[in-house]
């Protein structure tokens, strides 16, 4: 489906750069290409990011937990649901005309009642039923008329044949009296005496074959006795053969243990269900439990995978869930090359700068595209955040120049805005340890070592000290939740440009000692001058792990 939206997404536990770069790049793509691009997020945004979005009047991108293809992405066949009272013959005709094997039986409000299949109808034709099956199935006279290509002579077509058996009156009237009973349905010819006998025996319905005329006397008597008369152009043999096809489908439909899917179900899950079931077709229900269409195994073959553009990351462990099931179109990043693999060649722009937003700014410049003030504000905020107001060793002259130019467009002062933004982002009082720990958390798999590193920055050393004990206790509790053998957390003091590093699990203290030559005490060590996870902490760990 070429009209499908393309998601522009940052990593899990998104920071300000991840969110702002996604919004800005979606704006750029929408202004330069014909397809629709939408910024999304893969996690909860921080107070700092919320402040930035509010400051520049932007909405929080929608949350996407998993980019695996869903049933809603499939080519759903919009087969109309049918009423359970339609005849087997009509259902068969509908299936042949629609070239389908299954019909959904639905109520007036589109609730799913059951399913009827071609094989079920075929079995009903082949099975030998007793002569009361038509009344047992509560067949409507309307169905009988339709199936026999007939017309109503007397009676109510909306009434039902509810009692009695079906029989063919081939004998003379004297013998007919011995086997016609009250409420029977009698198939007969044009003999007046036979018609009269059936009515006198209180038959519920007589079917007059070969289009024979029905006299006024017979009509009047039938009306008085409450007997329905149907005229059919078919002979008695054909009428007797066809009449069972007038039974309603609801009598034969499957109504228990139905296998159905919902629009939000993931296709990798329904594949497993389909493989275990013999059904050829499966009904689809919407979020309100209403029927919307049908899918089959064949529909899985042409499914369109979700198309994604990644910003500010290129590692599977940091990407939205099920990223392997999506088509990655582009990657815009400023981190080391990670483990992400793609099915086809993609546009990959990776530059050694301090922030993805700097690259997005360059892309606008290269296309000569004017940057709106609110987008400029977002990009400037992202650069300030990622470079800690140009204090981080990851910051380059390119980042600083970009931020200053963007600040002019947005009409803000970098230093004043940075103070406001960091103050908004470092309000940790009242926050739960889990919320703080996973606010900016990334997982790494380096040289057989699997570990996670969280970070929080603050302009208040006292604020950082207050949450230290809580975080150490939480790290002990949460170790291994995402498969990590070691956990680290950076309490970064922006003012003093230093980090207190918390460590827990496995060889975490040994790794810190060998990487920085400092001995952790009670799971904590101070690292002066270290403020960057990407540029300082992770490279130091890599050097040790490589040895």
DSSP 460-475: -HHHHHHHHHHHHHHH
Give the least confident one: 89-98, 120-129, 385-394, 455-464.
120-129
Q: Given the DSSP bridges, would you call strands 166-168 and 185-188 parallel, antiparallel or unpaired?
A: parallel
Tens-digit pLDDT profile for residues 496-523: 889 999 999 999 999 999 999 999 999 9
- How do 151-154 and 228-231 pair as beta strands? antiparallel
What pLDDT, in 10s, does the model give residues 79-109? Answer: 999 999 999 999 999 999 988 889 999 999 9
Ranking 114-128, 196-210, 313-327 by mean pLDDT, the lowest is: 114-128
Higher pLDDT, 533 or 343: 533
Place of tokens 């009515």: 199
What pLDDT is attached to residue 72? 85
Domains of the chain, with CATH numbers? Answer: 6-68+306-425 (3.90.1640.10), 72-125+251-301 (3.10.580.10), 138-246 (3.40.1390.20), 433-546 (3.10.310.20)
**Across residues 454-462, what is the average pLDDT?**
84
CA angle 92, 95, 96 (to 5 degrees): 90
Of the candidates 275, 293, 283, the residue with the CA atom closest to the CA atom of residue 259: 283
Question: Three-state SS for 113?
Answer: strand
Asked if residue 206 lies in contact with residue 195, where contact means CB atoms within 8 angstroms, the answer is yes
How would residue 125 be classed by pLDDT, with cut points 50, 70 and 90?
confident
> Alpha helices, DSSP H only, in 367-460?
373-386, 397-410, 414-425, 433-437
pLDDT score, position 128: 58
Task: Specify the pTM.
Answer: 0.64
Q: 286: alpha, beta or left, given left = phi > 0 and alpha = psi -120 to 50? A: beta
pLDDT tens, residue by residue, 44-75: 998 899 999 999 999 999 999 889 888 888 88
The more confidently predicted of residues 270 and 402 is 402
Model confidence pLDDT, tens digit, residues 328-342: 999 999 988 887 888
pLDDT of residue 105: 94
CA-closest candidate to residue 388, choices 365, 413, 354, 360: 354
Amino acid 507: pLDDT: 93
C-alpha 84/C-alpha 103 separation (Å) is 10
What Rg, from alpha-carbon coordinates, does the chain have? 37
Residue 525: CB partners within 8 Å, gap ≥ 6?
Answer: 500, 501, 503, 512, 516, 518, 519
- Alpha-carbon span 443 to 65, nearest angstrom: 17
pLDDT confidence of residue 87: 93
Judged on CB neighbours under 10 Å (0-12, 13-18, 19+), 458 is: buried
- Token reading at 346: 């993609």
Average pLDDT over residues 199-203: 93
Confidence of residue 355 (pLDDT cuts 50, 70, 90): very high
Rounded to 10 degrees, what is the CA torsion of 291, 296, 302, 306? 50
Average pLDDT over every residue of 190-196:
90
What pLDDT, on the 0 to 100 scale, is given for residue 378? 98
% pLDDT > 70, the chain: 99
Q: What is the pLDDT of residue 534?
A: 86
**Band of residue 2 on the pLDDT scale cut at 50, 70, 90:** very low
Q: What is the largest CA-CA distance in the chain?
A: 116
**Range of weakest confidence among 160-174, 359-373, 469-483:** 160-174
392: left (phi over 0), alpha (psi -120 to 50) or beta: beta
**What digits encode the pLDDT tens for the residues 411-436?**
999 999 998 998 887 777 778 899 88
Which one is predicted more confidently, 124 or 389? Answer: 389
Kindly tell me if the per-residue pLDDT of 3 is higher than 70. Answer: no
Mean pLDDT score across all residues of the chain? 91
CA distance 21 to 27: 10
pLDDT of 127: 65
- Strands 347-350, 37-41: pairing is unpaired
pLDDT score for 277: 83
Burial level of 233, CB count in 10 A (0-12/13-18/19+)? Answer: middle
Residue 135: per-residue pLDDT: 92
DSSP secondary structure letter of residue 533: I
Which tokens is 366 given?
Answer: 């290269």
Nearby residues of 174 by Cβ (< 8 Å), 6 or more positions away: none
Contact indicator for 43, 60 with CB cutoff of 8 Å: no
The residue that leads in pLDDT, 100 or 4, is 100
Q: How far apart are CA 269 and CA 451, in angstroms?
A: 29
Place 1 in a pLDDT band, splitting at 50, 70 and 90.
Answer: very low
Find all residues with CB under 8 Å of 111, minimum gap 6, and list them: 289, 290, 291
Give residue-wise pLDDT tens across range 280-293.
889 999 999 999 99
């Amino acid at each position: 489906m070429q009209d499908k939206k393309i998601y522009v997404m940052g990593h899990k536990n998104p920071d300000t750069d991840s969110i702002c770069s996604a919004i800005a790049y979606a704006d750029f793509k929408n202004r330069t290409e014909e397809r629709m691009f939408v910024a999304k997020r893969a996690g909860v945004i921080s107070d700092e990011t919320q402040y930035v979005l509010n400051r520049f009047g932007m909405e929080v991108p929608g949350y996407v937990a998993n980019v695996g293809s869903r049933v809603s992405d499939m080519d759903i066949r919009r087969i109309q649901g049918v009423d359970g009272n339609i005849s087997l013959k009509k259902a068969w005709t509908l299936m042949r005309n629609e070239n389908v094997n299954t019909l959904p039986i639905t109520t007036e409000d589109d609730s799913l009642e059951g399913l009827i299949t071609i094989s079920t109808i075929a079995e009903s034709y082949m099975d030998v039923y007793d002569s009361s099956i038509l009344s047992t199935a509560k067949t409507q006279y309307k169905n009988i008329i339709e199936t026999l290509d007939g017309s109503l002579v007397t009676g109510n077509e909306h009434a039902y044949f509810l009692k009695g058996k079906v029989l063919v009156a081939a004998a003379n009237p004297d013998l007919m009296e011995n086997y016609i009973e009250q409420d029977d349905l009698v198939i007969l010819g044009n003999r007046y005496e036979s018609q009269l006998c059936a009515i006198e025996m209180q038959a519920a319905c007589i079917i007059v074959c070969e289009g024979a005329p029905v006299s006024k006397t017979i009509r009047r008597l039938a009306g008085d006795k409450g007997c329905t008369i149907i005229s059919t152009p078919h002979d008695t043999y054909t009428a007797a053969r066809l009449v069972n096809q007038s039974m309603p489908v609801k009598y034969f439909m499957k109504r228990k243990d139905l296998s159905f899917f919902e629009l939000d179900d993931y296709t990798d899950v329904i594949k497993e269900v389909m493989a275990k079931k013999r059904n050829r077709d499966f009904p689809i229900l919407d979020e309100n439990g209403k029927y919307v269409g049908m899918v089959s195994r064949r529909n899985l073959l042409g499914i369109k995978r979700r198309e994604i553009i990644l910003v500010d990351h290129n590692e599977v462990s940091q990407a939205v869930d099920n990223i392997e099931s999506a088509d990655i179109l582009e990657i815009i990043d400023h981190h080391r090359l990670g483990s992400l693999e793609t099915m086809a060649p993609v546009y990959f722009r990776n530059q050694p700068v301090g922030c993805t937003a700097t690259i997005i700014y360059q892309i606008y410049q290269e296309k000569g595209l004017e940057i709106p003030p609110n987008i400029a504000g977002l990009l400037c905020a992202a650069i300030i955040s990622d470079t800690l107001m140009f204090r981080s060793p990851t910051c380059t002259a390119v980042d600083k120049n970009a931020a200053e130019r963007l600040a002019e467009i947005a009409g803000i002062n970098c230093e004043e805005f940075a103070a406001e933004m960091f103050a908004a982002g470092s309000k940790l009082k009242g926050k739960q340890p889990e919320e703080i720990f996973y606010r900016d958390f990334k997982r790494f798999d380096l040289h057989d070592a699997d570990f996670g590193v969280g970070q929080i920055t603050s302009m208040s050393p006292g604020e950082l000290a207050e949450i230290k004990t809580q975080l150490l206790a939480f790290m002990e509790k949460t170790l291994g939740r995402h498969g990590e053998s070691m956990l680290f957390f950076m309490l970064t003091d922006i003012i003093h440009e230093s980090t207190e590093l918390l460590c827990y699990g496995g060889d975490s203290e040994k790794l810190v000692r060998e990487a920085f030559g400092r001995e952790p005490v009670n799971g904590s060590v101070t690292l002066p001058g270290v403020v960057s996870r990407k540029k300082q902490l992770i490279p130091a760990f890599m050097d040790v792990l490589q040895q």
